[in-house]
Chains A and B, each alone.
Chain A
C-alpha cells in the first residue's frame, strides 16, 4: 500500500475513532479527557515537506472541530505540534541512517527512549496549548494544571496501547 493511500485512510479512521468512540466515553473525571487523534500527525512520514505538514495538520484539526462544533480549538494545537515536529526529530535521531531506511517515526525506527521522548513532548505541548485556549475562556489555575497533567497521562497510556496493538510495518524502503 502506498504511503499516500495509507495516510489518507488513517486520516479518516483517526477522526472517526476520536469522534464516535473516545468522545462518547462517559467522563471518568473532570481532568481526564481521552485524546488520541493527534497521533496521526506524529505518525506522518519523515520526508514530508514542512509546508504541507502544516497544511495537513490544520485541515486535520479543523475536521475534528467540525464534529465537535468548536471551530479552531483543535486546529491551533495541531498546527503547533506540526511546526515543532521537524526540529524535535532533527534533535532526536541520527540523521543519515534512520531517515534513509525507515518511512515514519516509530519505536523501531528511533529506538524506545527517543521515541518515548518524542511522543511525550509533543503530547504535552498539544494538551498544554489546547487547555490554555480553553482556560483563557473560562476556568481556574488548579483546573488548568490538573487537566494538562491528567489528559497527557491518559493520552500517553493510549498511545502506548496503540503501539502495542498495531505492529506498524516499518520495513526498509525498497529504493
Chain B
C-alpha cells in the first residue's frame, strides 16, 4: 500500500498529464453528447454574453451592409406581392394570413423567426454561429438558419437565451440540395479549404449542368423549406470511374459578414424525422 502512494507521488505530473490528455480526447470524441450537459449549456451562456458585448461594437461598422441587404430583400419580396399580378378572374381576392389554416384550407408548415448573430467563426475547420434567441424564445434543435441571401446552417444546440448554429462551412455539415434547372439532387458538404465554396456530391451525370447554374434546397430536407437559394455552380469535375459529378458551389451567403439570420421551424419536423428513422430500421 505504501508503495502505491510512493509511486503516485513520484509520477504525479506524468499521471496527471495522462489523465488530462484522456479527458481532453474523450471530450472531443463525445462532443455531441456533452452538448446536452448542464456544464456546456452554462458555458454557452457565458461565452454568449461576451460575444454579445463584442458584436455590439462591431454592428456599427456593418450597418451600411445590413441596410443594403434588407433593402434588396424588400425589393425581392415586394415583387412577389399579389398586387403586382393581374389575376384572370377578378371577382375573388385571395388573402394569405398567418393563421394555422388559411381560407383555402392550406395548413402552415414553416414558421420564420428573426435572430441577431452575436458570434461567428469562419477560419476554423468546425465553424459555428451563435445567435441571440434561445429555447425561451421558441428555438428548438434542428431548425434551419437562413440569411437574406441564402441558407446558413442548422441549429444544433440551444440554451435559454442563445443558440448555436452549425454553419454550412463545418466539416460534418450535410444538406440535401438540387439543381434549379432540372431538379437533380445531390448532397452538399464542405471540404474544409475555402469558406467561399461548398462541394455538391452525387449529382447524376444525366444532369445538364453548366457553370453559373443556381443550386437550391431540395424537397427531401426535413430542416429546410424547398427552393431556397444556396449558391451557383463554379466548377464541374467529373471522374470517369463514377457515375456522378462533383460540383464546386460558390455560396450565396457571405459567411464573413453575417448580421441577422432567420430561423425556420418545420412544424412537422419531429413527425418526419421519426418516420424516417423508423423506416430505416426495417432491413
List B contacts of A55 (CB < 8 A): 16, 20
| Interface stretch (choices B72-80, B94-102, B121-129) | B121-129
Q: Which of B115-149 contact A (CB under 8 A)?
A: 119, 121-126, 128
Near B by CB (< 8 A), chain A positions 120-150 give 133-134, 137-139
Complex Cα gap A66–B16 (Å): 22
Does A23 touch B at the CB level, under 8 Å? yes
CB-CB contacts of B18-54 with A at 8 A, as 1s and 0s?
0011011111110100100000100110110001001
Q: Which of B28, B119, B164, B171 contacts A72 (CB 8 A)?
A: B28
User: Which residues of B sit under 8 angstroms from A139, Cβ to Cβ?
Assistant: 192
Q: How many A-B residue pairs have CB under 8 A?
A: 92
- Cβ 8 A contact of A58, one of B20, B164, B193: B20
Interface size range of chain A in the complex: 20 to 34
Which residues of A sit under 8 angstroms from B256, Cβ to Cβ?
26
Chain B residue contacts of A73, Cβ below 8 A: 28
Give the docked Cα–Cα distance between A54 and B21 (Å): 10
**Cα distance, A23 to B127, chains bound together (Å):** 11
Tell me which of A75, A133, A138 contacts B171 (CB under 8 A).
Answer: A138
Instruction: Please tell me if A20 contacts chain B, counting CB pairs below 8 Å.
Output: yes
- A150 CB to closest chain B CB (Å) equals 13
A139 to chain B, nearest CB (A): 7
The reply on B12 being an interface residue by CB < 8 A is yes
B17 within 8 A of A: yes
A71-B27 contact given A23-B121, A54-B16, CB 8 Å threshold: yes
Q: Determine if A61 is an interface residue (Cβ-Cβ < 8 Å).
A: yes
Residue of B nearest to A79 (CB): B20
A130 to chain B, nearest CB (A): 11
Q: Are A67 and B20 in contact (CB under 8 A)?
A: no
Q: Which chain B residues border A51 with CB–CB below 8 Å?
A: 12-13, 16
Which residue of B12, B20, B124 has the most chain A CB atoms within 10 A of its CB atom?
B20
Instruction: Please determine whether A75 and B24 come into contact, CB atoms closer than 8 angstroms.
Output: yes
> Nearest residue in A to B164 (C-beta to C-beta)?
A69
Asked if residues B17 and A54 are in contact (CB atoms below 8 Å), the reply is yes
CB atoms of B195 and A76 under 8 A apart: no
Residue in B17, B27, B123, B193 whose CB lies within 8 Å of A75:
B27
B-side contacts of A27, CB under 8 Å: 122-123, 194-195
Whether B26 and A83, one on each chain, are in contact in the complex, defined by CB atoms closer than 8 angstroms, is: no
> When the two chains form their complex, are residues B24 and A79 in contact, meaning their CB atoms are under 8 A apart?
yes
Once the chains bind, are A71 and B31 in contact (CB under 8 Å)? Answer: yes
**A72 and B195 in contact, given A23-B121, A23-B123, A23-B124 (Cβ under 8 angstroms):** no
Knowing A23-B121, A67-B47, A83-B13 are in contact, say whether A72-B54 is a contact too (CB < 8 A).
no
Q: Which residues of B are in contact with A by a Cβ distance under 8 Å? A: 12-14, 16-17, 20-21, 23-29, 31, 34, 40, 43-44, 46-47, 51, 54, 119, 121-126, 128, 164, 171, 192-195, 256
